[in-house]
Amino acid sequence: MDILADYHTHTIYSHGKGTIEDNVKVAISKNIKKIGISDHGYKHMTYGVKYDKIATMREEIDKLNEKYKEIEILLGMECNILDNKGNIDMDENISNMLDYVMAGYHFGSMPSSPKSLFNHTFNYLKFKNFTKEYNTNAVINAMKNNDIFIITHPGDKGDVYIEEVAKVAVKTNTYLEINSHHGYLNCEQLNLIKNIGVEFVIGSDAHRPEHIGNFEKAIKIAKEASIDFNRIKNIKL
C-alpha cells in the first residue's frame, strides 16, 4: 500500500509533540507523497493553535517546501464545529493562508451559545437521545456553509445520524475520515453508508511524529466493512 497523503497531523502549535519539520522528516522516511499540518482550530479552549501563530506556520511551511522537494507540505487546520448552525472557527484572514480546511467536533471547543454548552455537557455524559439531532445538524450545516475538505472522525464524541451526514457529504464533495486514532468512522457506520456514494480519506491523527502514516487501524476497519478501496482517496493499493 502506498500512502499518497496524510492530511491529519498535529504539531507543537496545538497539542502535538513534534515540530512541523519533525512531521515532514518522518513522512519522507515513510515515502508519503504529501503531508498536511492540521493543528486544532483556535477556538479549542485548551489546545487550539494561537490565532497569531497561523501566519508563522504558513511562513515555516513555505520555507520547508523549498527545503524538501521530495514531498508536498500543506497547511490545513482541524477546525471546531461550534454549534448546530454549522459555525466553525474560521475567518477570511485564516482561510487565505490555508491549503485546506478540515472540521470536527471536540469537547473542548468554545460554546457559541448556552444551547451549545448544554449540548457539550450532554455529549460528555453520553445522553445520546438529547444530542444526536443537534450533532447531526451541526456537521451537516458545517458542510453546507463552509468549504470543508474533510469531516474528521464523524460520530466520535458526539453521535450523529451518519446516513444523513453522508448524503450531504456527497452533495458538497466533502470527504469523510476514517480516523486511525479514534476509530471513527467505525465498521458499523461504514456499513450504513458504503452504498450512498460518499468518498473517504484515512487520517493518522498523529500527535507524535512517529505516528505519521499509521493507517493500520483504519485499514482494518475498512476491510471489515468491505469498503471499495478505490473510494479511499489518499491511498493506493
The CATH number of the domain holding residue 160 is 3.20.20.140
* Mean pLDDT, rounded, for 168-193: 97
Strands 200-203 and 235-236: unpaired
What is the domain count for the chain? 1
* Mean pLDDT, rounded, for 178-206: 97
> How many other C-beta atoms can be found within 10 angstroms of the C-beta atom of residue 99?
17
In a domain, 220, yes or no: no
In a domain, 214, yes or no: no
Provide, rounded to the nearest whole percent, the portion of the chain with pLDDT above 90.
Answer: 90
List the domain range (segments joined by +) for residue 18.
2-209+226-236
What integer pLDDT is reported at residue 55 of this predicted model?
Answer: 98
In a domain, 118, yes or no: yes
- CA 170, CA 162: separation in Å to the nearest integer? 12
Model confidence, pTM: 0.96
Helices 20-29 and 54-67: crossing angle, nearest 10°? 40
In a domain, 85, yes or no: yes
pLDDT category of residue 153 using cuts at 50, 70 and 90:
very high
For residue 31, give the 3-state DSSP assignment.
coil
Residues for the chain: how many in total?
Answer: 237
Between residues 115 and 41, the one the model is more confident about: 41
The angle subtended at Cα 155 by Cα 9 and Cα 85, nearest 5°, is: 95
Closest residue by Cα to residue 212 from 23, 11, 15, 22: 23
